Amino acid sequence: MTRLALAAALILLALPAAAQPRPAPPPADIAGAADNPLVGRYDGAVQRLREQLAFGEMRIVTAPIAPGGRPPGSPRATEANSTAVAGRITRMRYEGPDGRSPLEVVRNWQQRMEQGGFRTVFSCEARSCGGNAVDLWAAVTGALPGNAGIASNHGSVVYAAMRLERAEGDVWVSLLSVSGPRDRPQTLIDVVEARPMETDRIVFVDAAAMDRAIAATGRVALYGIAFDTDRADPRPDSRPTIEEIAKYLRANPGVSVVVTGHTDSQGGFDHNVDLSRRRAAAIVTALTRDHGIAAARLTPFGAGMAAPVAANDNEQGRAQNRRVEIVRR
C-alpha cells in the first residue's frame, strides 16, 4: 500500500461513527399493523397499509377483463368479470421481501390459503389478466375509495381471487402483487368476510349524508322509505326521506339519478321486479308532483330481488334487501 493510500485509510478510520455512511434502516410495519389470521403474511414482508370497514361492498375480479373500449375513469369491474360481495372488509398492503418476485409471493399465499380450505376462483399473470393488465390493476386498486398506494407496474402484475365457503359466511380474498421500487414486491390484499350489515344504526339519512355517499360511491341506500306488503305507494312515514332526496337534488341541479327499488326474495321473480319498478315510479311521482323536481332528471328502475346486500334466508337479511337506492346517472 502506498503512503498516500495508507494515509487515506487512516483518515477514514479516524472519522467519528456519525460521519460514516450508514445503511438504510429496514422498512417497518405501520403503527397498528395486524395480519388477517385466515391469510397470514409472507415471511419477511412488512405491512404498510391496513384499513378496515365494519360493513362495505366491493367487486372481486373473477374473470379476465376485456382490454380497451372504456372511457378513462369508467368502472373496470363489471357483472361480466367480477363478483359483488359485501361484509367486513380489510385492505392491507405488504412490501417485500427483497429478491422475491410477485409470482413467487402470490403462489406462496395461494398455497398457504388452499391448505386452509380456500379455493382459487381465478388467477392470472400480466397479459393473461386481460389486455396489458392495466384494467385489472385499476379494477382491483379502485375497488375501494382511496389510494391503495401500490405501484402501477402493469407488466409485472400477478393476481389471484380466492374463496372460503363456510356456514357462518363466505370469505373472499383478492391478492394483487407487482414489482415496486427497487424491485421490491408490493402486494395488495382485500379480505371480505360476508356477514349481514348491522341494522337500525341510522334511522334517518339527510340530504348532506346522501351527498357524501353519492360523491364517494355513486349511490346511497335508503331504508326510510317504507311500503305496505305488496303495495307500491310509499307510506306517510316515508315523507321525510323523500323530502331529503328533493333537497339533495335541488342542491345539485346538474345531477340526474336512477331511483331504484329493491325487494327481498319473497314471492315470484317477475312479480318482485314489477313491484319494485312501481315503487320506484311512485317515488319519482312524489318528487315531481310534490317537490317540483324535473321528471327528466329521474329514472325509475326496478331491480326486484336481483341485487341483495344480505342473505334472504332470515328476516334480518330480508330487511336489508328491502330498500330504495338513489344512483347517480
The full 3-state SS of 252-281, as one line of letters, equals: CCCCCEEEEEECCCCCCHHHHHHHHHHHHH
The answer to whether residues 80 and 181 belong to one domain is: yes
The answer to whether residues 141 and 242 belong to one domain is: no
CA–CA gap between residue 185 and residue 103 (Å, rounded): 9
Bridge partners, residue 52, by sequence:
90
Picking from 194, 223, 250, the residue at the C-terminal end of a domain is: 194
Confirm whether 4 is domain-assigned: no
CATH number of residue 100's parent domain = 3.40.1000
Confirm whether 21 is domain-assigned: no
The answer to whether residues 103 and 217 belong to one domain is: no
What does the pLDDT read at residue 20?
52
Confirm whether 285 is domain-assigned: yes
- In 3D, which of 79, 105, 85 has the Cα closest to residue 171? 85
What pLDDT digit, counting tens, does each position of 101-152 carry?
Answer: 999 999 999 999 999 899 999 998 887 776 557 777 888 888 887 768 888 8
The answer to whether residues 161 and 276 belong to one domain is: no
CA–CA gap between residue 63 and residue 49 (Å, rounded): 26
Confirm whether 26 is domain-assigned: no
Grid coordinates standing for 271?
312479480
Number of domains in the chain: 2
Residues of the chain with pLDDT under 50: none
Confirm whether 218 is domain-assigned: yes
The answer to whether residues 165 and 122 belong to one domain is: yes
The CB-side HSE value for 12 (13 A sphere, CA atoms) comes to: 8
The answer to whether residues 175 and 233 belong to one domain is: no
The answer to whether residues 218 and 163 belong to one domain is: no
The answer to whether residues 144 and 232 belong to one domain is: no
The answer to whether residues 213 and 172 belong to one domain is: no
What does the pLDDT read at residue 3?
59
C-beta neighbour count of 181 within 10 angstroms: 9
The answer to whether residues 69 and 190 belong to one domain is: yes
Question: Which residues 6+ apart lie within 8 Å of 12 measured at CB?
Answer: 20
Using CA atoms of 192, 196, 202, 204 in order, give the dihedral in degrees to the nearest 10: 110
Confirm whether 172 is domain-assigned: yes
Model confidence, pTM: 0.55
CA–CA gap between residue 166 and residue 20 (Å, rounded): 57
Q: Residue 186 sits in which domain range?
A: 46-194
The answer to whether residues 50 and 188 belong to one domain is: yes
Picking from 149, 164, 194, the residue at the C-terminal end of a domain is: 194
Confirm whether 223 is domain-assigned: yes
Confirm whether 34 is domain-assigned: no
Picking from 194, 224, 256, the residue at the C-terminal end of a domain is: 194
What does the pLDDT read at residue 299?
96
